[in-house]
Amino acid sequence: MKVNKTLVALLVTACLLSACSDDKKPISATDGSQNAANGIKDASTSGLNASSGLNPQGLPNVNAGLGADGEFNDPNSPQPKIIYFMLDSSDVQPDFVPVITAHAQYLVANPSLSLLIEGNTDERGSREYNIALGEQRARSVANLLLAQGVSNAQLRIVSYGEEKPAASGNDESTWEQNRRAELVYQGK
Amino acid sequence: MNFLKIMCVCTVLGLSISSSHAELTIEITQGVESALPVAVVPFASQGVPVDIRNIVNADLERSGYFKMLSEQAMISRPSTPAEVEFKSWQDLGQNYLVIGRVNPNSDGQYSVEFQLFDVYKGSQLIGYQMNSSTADLRKTAHTISDLIFQKLTGKKGVFSGRIAYITSNSLGNKKWTYQLQVADADGMTPQTIATSNEPLMSPAWSPDGKQMAYVSFEHKAAAIYVQTLATGARTRVAEFSGINGAPAWSPDGTRLALTLSKDGSPDIFVLNLASHALTKITNSLAIDTEPTWSPDGNNIVFTSGRGGKPQLYIAPSQGGNEQRLTFTGDYNARASFSPDGKYLAMVHGNGNNYRIGVMDMASRTINVLTSGPTDESPSFAPNGTMILYASRKGGTGFLSAVSIDGKMQQKLVFNSGEVREPAWSPSP
């Protein structure tokens, strides 16, 4: 009964969260993006796979329970909050499906939390087309979350296109870090 | 057109404009061989705060049509027609000569006079007297440039126009300051129209040049604003769920074409600014965005991903009968019509190389004008001779301009920060 075990862990987590909520820093978008930057650094030092794009790092072990790896909405959590995409594509790569599933379970278990999904692109091509492409990426992630029981009311998407690059440069490794959807928890 | 060949045969001129207010330097990276020799003599003036001769000289040089005589090479400095000896200007190889005077008026203004001469015919081509306030002296100088340019080339000058553009400056830590600015066509006297710590995008001039539509993410979601430049007053005209982007004014100034994704996928809509009525123009499941109106207002060209990759399509401006326009290159996007409607500039991508291309609307052939690799946001000058666009090299963005035959190129370099999304003001 893996799922039940996870649920128990989630419930414990939720209780802990509410119990110590007074001590927690408010979660801001800034903290979230700082964490995203760290995530990218981790990814690049552990090697990029050019053919499949960036791989998720610190993939949560869903079976072990989420509490062990820290909270998803904790800015310092090692849980991955960035989904990377292939060039000109908004399809979620198979590697990232478990990441989205873990977030879905966490959101279902914490209905008071909401998630902002920020779609982004690399710098190539035209800016407004990239806004549209970034939105499709965010929408792909949102659809997978909705399909796993997350409430529509918990989700909001925005696309920044190429306006907020995670890395600057003019090479494939920069571009693949920028083709991303960032998951930013909005607190309670 | 063979770009490399042109690079080799063309002269490379260097020009930098400096002043205490300079935010920008403009380099002519490629001029034409047949540039006409013109001498602009320093204007006779006393205690005038603006050097009109230098502004006119820089404007004409920047156009690429003229080879300007340096001040040091002048052996006389006439300021009245009676002082001009045409023979000596012929000896210096000059075809045309400009002289002028600036004198204080009784009403606290300046009287600015100039004459343009044909050196070989020994005759005056044009001569004007204008009154100018101190604040308008730069504008007056650009007007003089426009008059000279039109007389010598037969084309309307664009020196007294303005350009809008977006800058972004990194604050570190994945944060930026974004600004929408408007400057003179020579990059001087920049004014900030809007500032935000969230992205500003897609500035679009109203046809009368008095208002600007743009996209702002200041409330952490996209919205389209229309701002009156003279007063700063602004109205939020679109704030639907999802994308509110790519505003484009109808030629009569009554409507905005824009991109909304409120129904799911991004589609083109037309918003009537007076009645707020919204008409859906396209309805595909793919991305439709970046609308631009044909100058007669009858058609809208837009970018669509419906064929798998972004290509340009054309539809009547009330919707219906959508036809694909581009078939060469794997990425054609962000179209912009020339003022006469004969040409369509676009971002033309092949592999990793994104360049500015121009389609001849009669033959539907595309001529690639720039070398890439990250050129975008083409905007026609109001006289249709040049295209302003954004480039990126070495991690920073700057503006460039190219003539529509690709022969003349300029680079506009700002002091700091990234500059992009240029939009040339319509003719006054």
Whether residue B143 sits in one domain with residue B87: yes
- Among B176, B289, B392, pick the best mutation site for testing chain A contact (most A Cβ within 10 A): B289
User: Cβ–Cβ contacts within 10 Å for residue A156, how many?
Assistant: 18
Whether residue B227 sits in one domain with residue B316: yes
User: Looking at per-residue confidence, does A19 or A55 come out higher?
Assistant: A55
Amino acid, res. B22: A
CA distance B238 to B353: 34
Pick from B19, B114, B117, B13: nearest CA to B66? B13
Q: What b/e string do you get for B93-103 counting C-beta neighbours within 10 Å, with b at 16 or more?
A: ebbbbbbbbbe
Whether residue B230 sits in one domain with residue B145: no
Distance in angstroms between the alpha carbons of the first and the last residue of chain A: 30
Q: Which of B121, B153, B185 is the last residue of a domain?
A: B153
Whether residue B316 sits in one domain with residue B182: yes
- Over residues B367-388, the mean pLDDT reads 94
Give the lowest-confidence range in A147-161, B19-33, B153-167, B404-418.
B19-33
Percent of chain B with pLDDT strictly greater than 70: 92
CA distance A154 to B120: 78
In a domain, B6, yes or no: no
CA distance A108 to A140: 18
Instruction: Tally the domains of chain B.
Output: 2
Q: Where are the beta strands (DSSP E) in B32-109?
A: 36-40, 44-45, 66-68, 96-104
Residue of B nearest to A159 (CA): B243
Whether residue B124 sits in one domain with residue B219: no
CB contact under 8 A, A129 and B174: no
Please report residues of B whose CB lies closer than 8 A to that of A169: 395
Q: Where are the beta strands (DSSP E) in B250-339?
A: 255-260, 267-272, 278-280, 288-293, 299-304, 311-316, 323-324, 331-337
Whether residue B347 sits in one domain with residue B202: yes
Residue A2's Cβ-side half-sphere holds a number of Cα atoms within 13 Å equal to 6
CB contact under 8 A, A127 and B174: no
Gyration radius from chain B CA atoms: 23
Please name the member of B265, B354, B393 whose beta carbon is closest to the beta carbon of A124: B354
In a domain, B394, yes or no: yes
Pick from B243, B241, B245: nearest CA to B204? B245
Pick from B151, B137, B81: nearest CA to B109? B137
* CATH, residue B147: 3.40.50.10070
Q: Which of B96, B128, B153 is the last residue of a domain?
A: B153
CB contact under 8 A, B290 and A129: yes
Rounded to the nearest 5°, which phi and psi values hold at B26?
-115, 125
Number of H helices, E strands in chain B: 4, 31
CB contact under 8 A, A125 and B354: yes
Helices A97-109 and A2-19 sit at what angle, rounded to 10 degrees? 60
CB contact under 8 A, A131 and B245: yes
Q: Which of B94, B127, B153 is the last residue of a domain?
A: B153
Asked whether the whole model's pTM tops 0.80, one would answer yes
Largest CA distance in chain A: 49
Whether residue B202 sits in one domain with residue B58: no
Residue of B nearest to A139 (CA): B264
* CATH, residue B261: 2.120.10.30
Q: What b/e string do you get for A81-107 counting C-beta neighbours within 10 Å, with b at 16 or more?
A: bbbbbeebebebbebbeebbbbbbbbb
Is the separation of the CB atoms in B356 and B345 below 8 Å? yes
In a domain, B12, yes or no: no
In a domain, B3, yes or no: no
* CB-defined contacts A:B, below 8 A: 101
Is pLDDT of A103 > 90? yes
CA distance A68 to B360: 63
CA distance B342 to B344: 7
Is pLDDT of B146 > 90? yes
CA distance B142 to B188: 11
CA distance B10 to A166: 40
CB contact under 8 A, A164 and B245: no
Is pLDDT of A59 > 80? no
In a domain, B25, yes or no: no
- Over residues B278-293, the mean pLDDT reads 97
For domain A2-185, give its CATH number from 1.10.3720.10, 3.40.50.1110, 3.40.50.300, 3.30.1330.60.
3.30.1330.60
DSSP, res A49: B
Whether residue B146 sits in one domain with residue B274: no
Whether residue B201 sits in one domain with residue B109: no
Is pLDDT of B35 > 80? yes
User: Looking at per-residue confidence, does B406 or B120 come out higher?
Assistant: B120
- Over residues A184-188, the mean pLDDT reads 79
Domain range for B358: 162-424
Give the lowest-confidence range in A170-184, B18-32, B51-65, B311-325.
B18-32
Distance in angstroms between the alpha carbons of the first and the last residue of chain B: 33
Is the separation of the CB atoms in B35 and B68 below 8 Å? no
- Among A35, A90, A126, A159, pick the best mutation site for testing chain B contact (most B Cβ within 10 A): A126
In a domain, B171, yes or no: yes
Whether residue B130 sits in one domain with residue B169: no
Is the separation of the CB atoms in B204 and B213 below 8 Å? yes
- Over residues B234-239, the mean pLDDT reads 98
In a domain, B389, yes or no: yes
Whether residue B227 sits in one domain with residue B372: yes
Whether residue B132 sits in one domain with residue B186: no
Task: Please give, rounded to a whole number of angstroms, the shortest distance from the CA of B408 to a CA of chain A.
Answer: 24
Give the lowest-confidence range in B34-38, B213-217, B268-272, B365-369.
B34-38
pLDDT score at A80? 85
User: Looking at per-residue confidence, does A4 or A179 come out higher?
Assistant: A179
Please name the member of B290, B374, B394 whose beta carbon is closest to the beta carbon of A124: B374
